[in-house]
Chains A and B, each alone.
Chain A
Amino acid sequence: MALRLDWALSVVVWLGALLLAAGLARRLALWRQGQPAPVAWSGLLAMPRRYFVDIHHVVAREPAIARAHVMTAGGAVAILLALGVNYGLMRYWPVLDVVTLACAVAMFAGAWQVRARRRAPPARLSRGSWNRLPYSLLLFAAGIALIMALFLLGPFALSRMFGRALAALAGIGLLLGGAELVLGIGIAGPMKHALAGLAHLAFHPRPERFGGRSTGLRPLDLRRPGLGVARAADFAWNRLLSFDACVQCGKCEAVCPAYAAGQPLNPKALIQGMVAAFAPGGPEYAGNPHPGQPQSSAGAVHADIVGSVLAAETLWSCTTCRACVEACPMLIEHVDTVIDLRRHIALNRGDVPGKGSEALANLRYTDTVGGHALAARHHWAVDLDIRVLGEGMNADWLLLVGEGGFDMRYQRALRALVTVMRRAGLDVALLGAAETDCGDLARRLGDEAGFQRLAATLIATLNRYRFAHIVTPDPHLFHCLKNEYPAFGGNFDVHHHSQLLAELIDRGALSLTAPASGGGSVTFHDPCYLGRYNGGFDAPRRVLRGIGVTVVEMPRSREDSRCCGWGGGAAFTDIPGARRIPDMRMDDIRASGAGRVVVACPNCSAMLEAVVGPRPEVIELAEWVAERLAVDVP
């Protein structure tokens, strides 16, 4: 009798393996609808490290559920391995039964905690089949534990009526719970995430992000027809795979500024929309929809994504702030998805909403966002007697001003920066009318053609001049030059002004003799393109510490900072929501109790300055440093 049960379990193990393989093959066929993409098979070897290091890095921010997951998933994997060896290969070693039993107990305990959380789930979690999952896991763990216990007790246990009844019960639990595990990927159930997630780790579209930062957008080949992604099959196959890794945890939803503002964008629904687009007919999405939009409908592989699974406004609401990417435990790249879809609209249909089209036309004809004459960019500096770099001249530091040069408020910050740099004895020069836009806005709005033209223009200009370093107070310009120009042959030593100021203060190159003005507490607003995009969290804080300012941190600071609402051209497309993002950020600032907020970006400055008062005062980093020098900013 006992022997026959052993065999039965062996049959079940093999059946499970076959079903799992069949499900995987089915999903693979769906992924292969995508475009070919070069992937390194070495990714498979790197998978464990990526799992235990990179994912852990994100998951550990929520320790309780992370522990529960380790117990559940670790237990399940160990059980499957042990069953495979012991029963799949028909070894029937009792010692492995003991191991399996222990793992089953651990898994049960983990799944129990998951179930406890599911009873009052945070709003960001999806419901539907995800609510079923902890029960399936509990059934599976309990079934395995019982069977192992019965095996260990030996034939004696099974010779009793009670024992047989227990065995039958355990068998049913094992089958029901096991079905969730082995069929998950085939029927696109919640357990799809396990295999898809591991494969996604191995074949991640941005392998450079492991052990580093990879935030620059990928160049688009403008000679190839199509231009961007219209249908699901236009994505590379490993991008389709990445969408399948989503566990619908909604961490992206919880941090998305556009979602919080009631704009029609929910990053989780966005990713699930992509899944619906390449694998129609899967289980219905049971999470929050894009605000103000009907629950997304089923897609069709050959239908345009925009107009079927999502509306264009969803794409244009994104500020490309990367808060979602930073929060995602499955390392999914939402911003790349948004940009690929935007590219198709901008390049093929040209209908960028709001002021977006106008800004793109300005860039096309004047190389400035606002449609200004290039020479006007440096009007703020006419009386500063600052050198304009000419051909054949030499400068140590080239100051790239960016669009902030046209903004009367930001010109104060620029003058302060020049003053500080000169006091530190730096040799600084401007580009004058030769400075053209870096193309950040064009690229984020999907106008890759406009971006590539602007990038080529600025790279050619910069290559004509002789200078050692570039400094800019604009994190968007900084990001473009540092992370996106190398793909176009532009390699420059570029610094954000916060980094330069921190270095000057650390070196003691500035004599900070004037007393700091104003009392009250101060907070710092991390610009997305300096922080999440470039890891520039410490430099601005070092500067503030260096000038004797104590920063009260907002709960949403550093990696968790909330966007000011400008990024990605969102201030131009201006998709209506229930609230405005800068107002919400100002509420964060108010809640910190600070009377002043320090910014380090012309766009954050413009967005936060535009919040109606009474509100905390907005100060640029360089302005405060200049205040501590015993000179007046001219």
Chain B
Amino acid sequence: MSGNVERPRIAVLVSPAVHPVSGRACAGAADLAALALGQALVASGAPDVFYAGAAPDSALADYLAHGCRRLLVLRHEPDQDVSASLAAAVRPYDLVICGIRSGGGMSSGLLPYQLAELLGRPLLPGLAELSLDSGTVRGAQSLPQGEQRLLEAGFPVLASVHPRAATARPWRFAGLAQGRIEVTPATGCGLTECAFEPERRALPLRAARAERGHERMLQAIAAGDGQAAGLVVNQGDSVEKAQVVLDYLRHHQLVDY
């Protein structure tokens, strides 16, 4: 474990996204969550924010409007691999937070893994929640079907976060003038050739019994044949009917009053 436990150095990585309707440059949802987390975790509220790539400053302005005070840009030529220069830039930091994937470009979601490999540091991927506890980063990784897995690692560490991990500060016009973008030229090698393949579909869940939902519901409420547990109450006023429901819930300990 290295780094300053009391005042950890935190870097946030962002990149421009493409608006799904208009195609305009805007802030990426996951990167905004990363920025918001960085702002919350740094005492000054202004973490160091990095972008590496060829996008013009105007495409990054949204992050300033969302409260980023200083955005350090490693300006590359188009179509270059930015991972090496970015890794060098964020090496001094105890915690590097980025979005799970950018909202534009290739959106492959690979960059956090590449950085972790280049830096030889652990990566906590896809966090829906992140907290710091004296040099340890804890997070809940969000998994399909709403499942979560708790992860933790000591400094230095990388984390990629889900768009829902934090709420971004509101977009403020005044922020555009208050923040600044500092550009440093950077070089990188060409992108490695990659082959695209279609996303593999997860297997759909199978129901335990091969009946339609409607049939299962009918079974649950069917009365008369003595088999189903259901009870149809169509007599009495609303208070009496509500009483039946309440009794049922109490019987099954679904309410405790």
Contact = CB atoms under 8 A, between A and B. Distances in A.
Interface string B1-37: 0000000000000000001011010100000000000
B174 interface: yes
A73 interface: no
Given A372-B21, A373-B21, A364 B171 contact: yes
Contacts of A550: none
A347 B170 contact: no
B172 A348 contact: yes
B248 interface: no
Contacts of A361: 171
Contact of B173 (A365, A367, A374, A449): A449
A360 B172 CA distance: 11
Contacts of B170: 349-352, 357
Interface in B53-112: 65
Interface string A371-382: 111100000000
Interface in B101-146: none
A227 interface: yes
Contacts of A364: 171
Contacts of B65: 350
Most buried by B among A352, A365, A374: A365
Contacts of B177: 225
Nearest to B169: A350
Contact of A371 (B21, B169, B171, B175): B21
B175 to A, nearest CB: 8
B22 A366 contact: yes
Contact of A347 (B19, B24, B169, B174): B174
B24 to A, nearest CB: 5
A403 interface: no
Contacts of B22: 365-367, 373-374
Interface in A330-354: 346-352
Interface string B154-170: 00000000000000011
Contacts, number: 45
Nearest to B177: A225
Nearest to A350: B170
Contact of B174 (A227, A351, A352, A367): A227
Nearest to B174: A348
Interface string B219-246: 0000000000000000000000000000
B77 to A, nearest CB: 28
A620 interface: no
B19 A366 contact: yes
Contacts of B24: 365-366
Contacts of B21: 365-366, 371-373
Contacts of B175: 350
Range, interface on chain B? 10 to 19
A484 interface: no
A253 interface: no
Contacts of A449: 173
Contact of A349 (B19, B26, B172): B172
Contacts of A349: 170, 172
A362 to B, nearest CB: 9
Nearest to A344: B174
A234 interface: no
B173 A347 contact: yes
A222 B26 CA distance: 21
Contacts of A447: 173
A155 B150 CA distance: 104
A357 B177 CA distance: 20
A72 B65 CA distance: 56
Nearest to B176: A449
B103 to A, nearest CB: 12
Interface in A129-159: none
A361 to B, nearest CB: 7
A151 B129 CA distance: 89
A367 B172 CA distance: 18
A367 B170 CA distance: 19
A373 B174 CA distance: 28
Contacts of B173: 222, 227, 346-348, 350, 447, 449-450
A348 B172 CA distance: 6
Contacts of B19: 365-366
A347 B26 contact: no
Contacts of A365: 19, 21-22, 24, 26
A75 B48 CA distance: 71
A166 B177 CA distance: 72
B158 to A, nearest CB: 29
Interface of A: 222, 225, 227, 346-352, 357, 360-361, 364-367, 371-374, 447, 449-450
Given A371-B21, A372-B21, 11 more contacts: A222-B173, A350-B169, A350-B170, A350-B173, A361-B171, A364-B171, A365-B21, A365-B24, A373-B21, A373-B22, A450-B173
21 contacts: A225-B177, A227-B173, A227-B174, A346-B173, A347-B173, A347-B174, A348-B172, A350-B65, A350-B171, A350-B173, A350-B175, A352-B170, A357-B170, A361-B171, A365-B22, A366-B19, A366-B22, A372-B21, A373-B22, A374-B22, A449-B173
Give 5 nearest A-B pairs by CB, closest first. Answer: A350-B170, A350-B172, A449-B173, A347-B173, A365-B19
